Amino acid sequence: MTPTSIPAPPVAVDVAVVLTAIIRSEADGGGYSASIPALPGCHTQGETLDEVRANLREAAEGWLAVAHEDGLTREAAGEAS
């Protein structure tokens, strides 16, 4: 029987991250659009500044979750990240 390595279980750690967002007022339709330059493709919008801030947080969390899952998928497939 060949010994198999058992992967260590994942460890969840909460980490505070500070990201800079660019928020633009939308003159035509009102409201705001926003993006986080450090996270390519991370864009959102909202009717108020409070709404766009909440949407930015949700968009960044989603972006980071997908990036994390993608990295784990590539590792499992034996690809370099």
* Positive or negative torsion for Cα 47, 48, 51, 55: positive
The structural domains of the chain, with segments of one domain joined by +, span: 22-75
Please tell me which residue, 54 or 68, carries the higher pLDDT value.
Answer: 54
Structure tokens, 19: 């990201």
Asked if residue 49 lies in contact with residue 32, where contact means CB atoms within 8 angstroms, the answer is yes
The answer, yes or no, to whether residue 76 has pLDDT greater than 60, is no
The answer, yes or no, to whether residue 79 has pLDDT greater than 80, is no
* Rounded average pLDDT over 53-66: 94
CA distance 11 to 71: 15
Amino acid type, 62: G
Q: Which CATH architecture has domain 22-75?
A: 2-Layer Sandwich (3.30)
Q: What is the reported pLDDT for 24?
A: 96
pTM: 0.70
Please tell me which residue, 79 or 5, carries the higher pLDDT value.
Answer: 5
Q: Are strands 43-46 and 32-35 parallel, antiparallel or unpaired?
A: antiparallel
